[in-house]
Each structure stands twice: as structure tokens, then as C-alpha cells.
Chain A
Amino acid sequence: AQKVTQAQTEISVVEKEDVTLDCVYETRDTTYYLFWYKQPPSGELVFLIRRNSFDEQNEISGRYSWNFQKSTSSFNFTITASQVVDSAVYFCALSEAGTGANNLFFGTGTRLTVIP
């Protein structure tokens, strides 16, 4: 069965600190997709990144970077030089290709608070 675990419920950092949000997933499929979404206080889920299981290259986008490691079933998200606008709940999600199901399985989220 599929599962996404975000063990960190809440994290607080001081502005300009780096922070890493952890995501561990479980799946029996060999082909799957991993996502990160940001949910600010307004409530709308904002797409950040999609990764497929065959692409283990790490990715960097501005202050954001993602570390995908199949050996540990992890897809961690790092924010460098955090800013107050980064305060939000961040969700990691999994989609399996083999089952034919098109839905996303979400973790319970990590609430990040960046203190000015």
C-alpha cells in the first residue's frame, strides 16, 4: 500500500536560516511520481515540483532544492536563506503509475514558520 510520511509536524526557523523538510514514502510500484505542494494561509495548494521514479537527479530552483534518494525512499525539500513569505504548510505527495489510479496520496504536512 502507498504511504507518505512527513514526520515533522511543525518547524520554526529564524529568517535567513536554511531548513529541510523531510518526506519518506512507501510504494510497491516501480514507476511513481513525487510532488511537493505549498499551502499558504489562504488555503490554495501551490505546486512546487514533480519528480518521477527514474530521475534521481537533485533539482535546484532559486532558494529551493530537492534531494530524491530511492535507496532510502526519501524526497526531502530544502529552503535556503528562508524568508517570512516561506511560512506555510508544505505537503509531499505520491502518485503511482502502475495501479492506474490518478489520485495523489498526501502526507500530513509540515507547518513551517519563519520568524523575522
Chain B
Amino acid sequence: DTGVSQDPRHKITKRGQNVTFRCDPISEHNRLYWYRQTLGQGPEFLTYFQNEAQLEKSRLLSDRFSAERPKGSFSTLEIQRTEQGDSAMYLCASSSETVGAGRETQYFGPGTRLLVL
């Protein structure tokens, strides 16, 4: 059983550069989430897709951030003009909507650790 995968696992970049992260969800899952986790904190929600539609965005997701899920499978998260404050772990999660089952469980990937110098 293949879990959620993320690439790259680590990224070091210079301030002002653009970076893109990829997430591959569990194959049968139609929902995909992005979270950000800074040191010593719990993950914070960024955005959520159901299939290819982006249904929710947190106010944490500034204009420099954009996420896509073009075919309802993998997703990318791009950060433009990175700032030192963007340094964090970026986590992806996926879940499968089951009608009538209430809030489903989100399964997380290993994360991409970003360091902006």
C-alpha cells in the first residue's frame, strides 16, 4: 500500500527565488490538503482540493503561494519570491470522501523541509 509521497524532501533556496513542491496522494483518495509546520508548532492548514477543484484557502496562503491539482491526482505548491519567513515544513495529506461517514481521516506524507537563506 503506497502512502502519500512528497518531493523533494529538503529544499534550500535563496531569498527571492521561486520553489515548487510536489505531492502524490494515496491513489484512491480524492481529497488533498497542504499544511505548513514551523518549528515547535502544530501544522497549520493552507489549502484543500477535492479532485481538481481548490475548495478552501487559508488566509495564510498569501498571493505568493499558489497550488494546483490539474488532473485531480498529484498536486504542486509553488512559492514565488521566497522570504525567510517561508522556512518551514510543508506537509501534504490526502483522504477519501465517504458519504455518510462523517469527517474522514487525513493521511500525511513525509513533508518537504524548506530553508530560505
A-side residues, CB < 8 A to B, are 4, 31-33, 35, 37, 42-47, 50, 52, 91, 93, 95, 97, 101-109
Contact = CB atoms under 8 A, between A and B. Distances in A.
Nearest to B41: A108
A102 B43 contact: no
**Closest 3 pairs (CB-CB, A-B):** A106-B42, A103-B45, A45-B108
Interface string B49-63: 000000110100000
Interface string B80-106: 000000000101010000000011011
Given A33-B103, A52-B102, A93-B42, A103 B56 contact: yes
Nearest to A91: B42
Contacts of B31: 102
Q: Most A CB atoms within 10 A — which of B43, B45, B58?
A: B43
